[in-house]
Amino acid sequence: MTELNDGKPRKIKSARPYSFMLEQDTTNYGTYEKGGIVTQVKQSKVLNFKPLREALKDPGDFLLSDFSKFDRPPLLHLAFQALDKFVAELGRHPVAGSEEDAQKLISFASDINESSGDAKLEDINPKLLRLFAFGSRAVLNPMAAMFGGIVGQEVVKACSGKFHPLFQFFYFDSVESLPTEPLDPRDYSPQNSRYDAQISVFGAKLQKKLEDAKVFIVGSGALGCEFLKNVALMGVSCGDRGKLTVTDDDVIEKSNLSRQFLFRDWNIGQAKSTVAAAAAASINPRLKIEALQNRVGPETENVFDDSFWENLSVVINALDNVNARLYVDQRCLYFQKPLLESGTLGAKCNTQMVIPHLTENYGASRDPPEKQAPMCTVHSFPHNIDHCLTWARSEFEGLLEKTPTEVNAYLSNPAEYANAMTNAGDAQARDTLERVLECLDRERCETFEDCITWARLKFEDYFSNRVKQLIYTFPEDAATSTGAPFWSAPKRFPHPLQFSASDPGHLHFVMAASILRAETFGIPIPDWAKNPKKLAGAVDSVMVPEFQPKKDAKILTDEKATSLSTASVDDVAVINELIKKLELCRSNLSPGFRMKPIQFEKDDDTNYHMDMIAGLANMRARNYSIPEVDKLKAKFIAGRIIPAIATSTAMATGLVCLELYKVLDGGHKLEDYRNTFANLALPLFSMAEPVPPKLIKHRDMSWTVWDRWIIQNNPTLKELLEWLKDKGLTAYSISCGSSLLYNMMFPRHRERMDKKVVDLARDVAKLEVPPYRRHLDVVVACEDEEDNDIDIPQVSVYFR
């Protein structure tokens, strides 16, 4: 069907991963047989906006954010028109707490509504308009952050033409953030402080709660910087009794500066938490902040001990990985502390409120795991640039970090290394030894010219010989066992590259590879190495042997395979032979010879790391007719940079801080809290009540995942069993960690009845109880009176 080769965009339908139907008459086209590469083309769209004067009268459809407030946008549209009229006539905004001003604004709203014709509202909700009047003159940090994120993204859309603009009107309110108790008008009175605007909305009592809060912010990266700025402006932990603890074990990198705005060029290499804390304290000198450089996890429970968690008011996560989130979630669950969770991915963001006894915890629901490309796809059948870059990063680490590290491990203690490999006796040990031997024997470099030879031969191996072997094993007309074409979508038939020193891509790969190879061997790099003409001359002098394909080559095609190593019956014999050869190589090395492994560093533009990875990926992309990428795009993918932009980050943190008002005020119900998912690119805003925790009932008792049963006074095993018996529960198994303290099926366990539970944990589970720990936790499996298994809360046994 060669008529499709004119490059014009065409509409399609019934799109599947590897097939689609054309939305046009193909009667006179040739018959489609096979092949072809299709690229999605996004067509531009024209939006016609109404002038403001016209849009105010006829706003059209509003963009909704909260479906529980379906009727709210038209009401807020009316409220803002009434506010404009109030300001125009009185020259000021309504005063907070002034019933007279509120009634005047309600009167204006009523007049405008009466003259609205078909757009007239049945109920103008005076109660909401009263609250609107009270807060109309205040600028609140969380609202500014949230709307700033939205407006910032709209500005980028207007400048770039990328993503869909917000069409006409979007209204948002968070009335639920207001205190649950009615306030006296005097609570709104200004106190001549920087928080007067906030006090005029929430009152002085909530402001005092904010200032006295003990807050733990976990992480000080993109989200963490925004949170620290927000809480400093809100006055959180700025009182005499308040304290803000922030921790992050990371240091500032150059790529952080685009969105982690508390950092500057001169902070690169410094601890994130320390720099961010100093910046936040400069925003509000009254902020009581302590910066730590500890990762939050089981290994730092001596730092973040029981008393630390027990004294917290709230925890705010600013993390970038699920495992750390799950650990903090378990700690908050255990100590019954509110957890405010959020995350971003490009223009998307989400927030989740984890409130003791009201909502489910973060770990109660999980996203499905991300799909990874099968190993055979990455190594032999790539069909997009991500596959090429994944392979390039893997080859970089194998050649320049893992193999030199293995070489040094061998040279440091040859006998111990040989024993370990012999004991392993598997295909992985065999492959590792082969790489070490190759590095110290055939591929050992002593001069920079040796490094150029190595790089040139690597080019030939990667981009010519391996491809020739692949198409020898699987020719273009090869078929699978079912008779289907082997090279069918998504596989792309490859073509070997012919090296040319006049091709800048070819030469730049050899330059980067030879410089990095020299670095691993400690070889000085001559000045001419970076001169293309002189380098080309040296490369052209390299003798490249002619390639002969193997008839018995094994190429991985199983998509479920997890390793490239193939086991052999004589692995042990091969390993012993390799160790003998290694001993011979070692005798030829100078005493004290060691290699210098290279750890991948994406942010140094002068170290040639990204040059080599981009070169590897782009040459491989040429093999498979995949569009190449520049170094910046390659850095983004290979560096596994999670896309984070200031707009969605500002919005997420603003939404979380609106929830922080509710948490610190206390007394709010489940229906007052909001979880959010937003995508600023579409734009889409979806807010909903959090999900309540699962409730378990037994007798007249009920509990959720938030509950923890506590037994005091250092009980014996017998006392613990009787304590459970009083609740109508028969414990048939009690465990601590991975050890079984008691099981009713084992007669010898009855001998433990008079022992203290803590002593059993020390003796049986080998539990080391640190001096700061006052209790231990046991998991109890129980049955009720009818022999039904019943999940009970974790049981905490206090022994001090």
- What is the DSSP track for 474-536? S-TT-B-TTSSBSS-TT----------TTSHHHHHHHHHHHHHHHHHHTPPPPGGGG-HHHHH
Mean pLDDT for 692-702 is 92
Residue 105 reports pLDDT greater than 90: yes
Asked whether the beta carbons of 218 and 321 are under 8 A apart, the reply is: no
Q: Which two tokens stand for residue 478?
A: 């090869």
- Whether residue 47 contacts residue 165, with contact meaning beta carbons closer than 8 Å, is answered with yes
Give me the DSSP letters along 637-704. Answer: HHTTPPPB-HHHHHHHHHHHHHHHHHHHH----GGG--EEEEETTTTEEEEEPPPPPPPEEETTEEE-
Q: Give the side-chain half-sphere CA count within 13 A for 411.
A: 22
Q: How far apart are CA 409 and CA 430, in angstroms?
A: 15
- Counting residues of the chain whose pLDDT is more than 90, the rounded percentage is 74
- Cis previous bond, 591, omega within 30: no
Q: Is residue 44 part of a domain?
A: no
Looking at residues 584-606, what average pLDDT do you find?
90
Do 88 and 162 lie in a common domain? no
What average pLDDT does range 663-691 have in this prediction? Answer: 96
Pairwise CA distance, residues 522 & 508, whole Å: 21
Dump pLDDT digits (tens) for 715-754.
Answer: 999 999 999 999 999 999 999 988 899 999 999 999 999 9
Residues 511 and 415 in one domain: yes
Is residue 472 packed enough to be buried (19+ CB in 10 Å), middle (13-18) or exposed (0-12)?
middle
Q: Does 26 map to a domain?
A: no
Residue 128: name the closest of 98, 173, 180 by CA. 173
CB 621 within 8 A of CB 385: yes
Instruction: Give tens-digit pLDDT for 3-15.
Output: 998 888 999 988 8
CA 591 → CA 209, 583, 588, distances in Å?
68, 14, 9
Domain identity same for 234 and 342: yes
Instruction: Tell me: do 417 and 512 sit in the same domain.
Output: yes
Torsion 161-162-165-171 (CA) sign:
negative
Are the beta carbons of 434 and 578 closer than 8 angstroms?
A: yes
Calculate the average pLDDT of the chain: 92
Q: What is the DSSP string of 58-119?
A: ---SPBPSBGGGTTHHHHHHHHHHHHHHHHHHHSSPPPTT-HHHHHHHHHHHHHHHHT-GGG
pLDDT of residue 615: 96
Contact indicator for 554, 473 with CB cutoff of 8 Å: no
Do 503 and 652 lie in a common domain? Answer: no
Same structural domain for residues 269 and 399? Answer: no
341 contact partners, CB below 8 Å, separation of at least 6: 317, 325, 329, 351, 352, 353, 354, 362
Q: How far is CA 324 from CA 99, 244, 296, 320, 422, in A?
A: 49, 20, 7, 8, 37
Which CATH number fits the domain that encloses residue 326? Answer: 3.40.50.720
For residue 246, being part of any structural domain is answered with: yes
What CATH number should be reported for the domain holding residue 453? 1.10.10.2660
Catalytic residue among 332, 349, 376, 657: 376
- Taking the C-alpha atoms of residue 18 and residue 16, their distance in angstroms, rounded to an integer, is 6
Q: What is the CATH number of the domain that holds 784?
A: 3.10.290.60
* Model pLDDT, residue 564: 58
Calpha distance 684→36 (Å, rounded): 35
Residue 501 CB contacts under 8 Å (≥ 6 apart), including other chains? 507, 536, 539, 540
Claim to verify: residue 530 and residue 579 sit in the same structural domain: yes
Q: pLDDT-derived band of residue 562, with 50, 70 and 90 as boundaries?
A: low
- pLDDT band of residue 78 (cuts 50, 70, 90) is very high
Dig out the tokens for 354 from the structure. Answer: 């984890």
Q: Give the structural domain span for 177.
A: 143-367+643-688
Over the Cα atoms of the chain, what is R_g?
33
Q: Does any domain span residue 125?
A: yes
- CB-hemisphere CA count at 13 Å for 45? 10
pLDDT for 17? 77
Residues 363 and 433 in one domain: no
- CB-based contact 756:711 (threshold 8 Å): no
Provide the whole-model pTM: 0.81
Percent of the chain surpassing pLDDT 70: 97
Compare 692 and 775 and report the one with higher pLDDT: 692
Cα separation of 52 and 100, whole Å?
30
pLDDT at 553: 77
Question: Does residue 171 share a domain with residue 78?
Answer: no
Where does a domain end: 137, 154, 173?
137
Residue 18 lies in a domain: no
Give the integer Cα–Cα distance in Å for 149 and 685.
13
Same domain, 410 and 453: yes
Is a pLDDT exceeding 60 seen at residue 678?
A: yes
Same domain, 664 and 529: no
Residue-wise over 157-186: b if at least 16 C-beta within 10 A, else e? Answer: beeeeebeebebbbbbbbebbbbeeebeee
Least confident of 329-343, 368-382, 412-426: 368-382
- With contact defined as beta carbons under 8 Å apart, do 647 and 150 qualify? yes
Is 332 considered catalytic here? no
Cβ contacts of 589 within 8 Å, gap of 6 or more: 411, 440
In a domain, 560, yes or no: no
CB count within 10 Å of CB 462 equals 20
Q: Write the pLDDT tens digit of every residue in 409-459.
A: 999 999 999 999 988 888 888 899 999 999 999 899 999 999 999 999 999
Establish if 57 belongs to a structural domain.
no
- 293-325 pLDDT, tens per residue? 999 999 998 899 889 999 999 999 999 888 999
Give me the pLDDT at residue 642, please.
66
pLDDT band at 201 (very low <50, low <70, confident <90, very high): very high
Report pLDDT for 723: 95
665 confidence band (pLDDT: 50, 70, 90): very high
Q: How many structural domains does the chain have?
A: 4
Tell whether 156 and 221 lie within a shared domain: yes
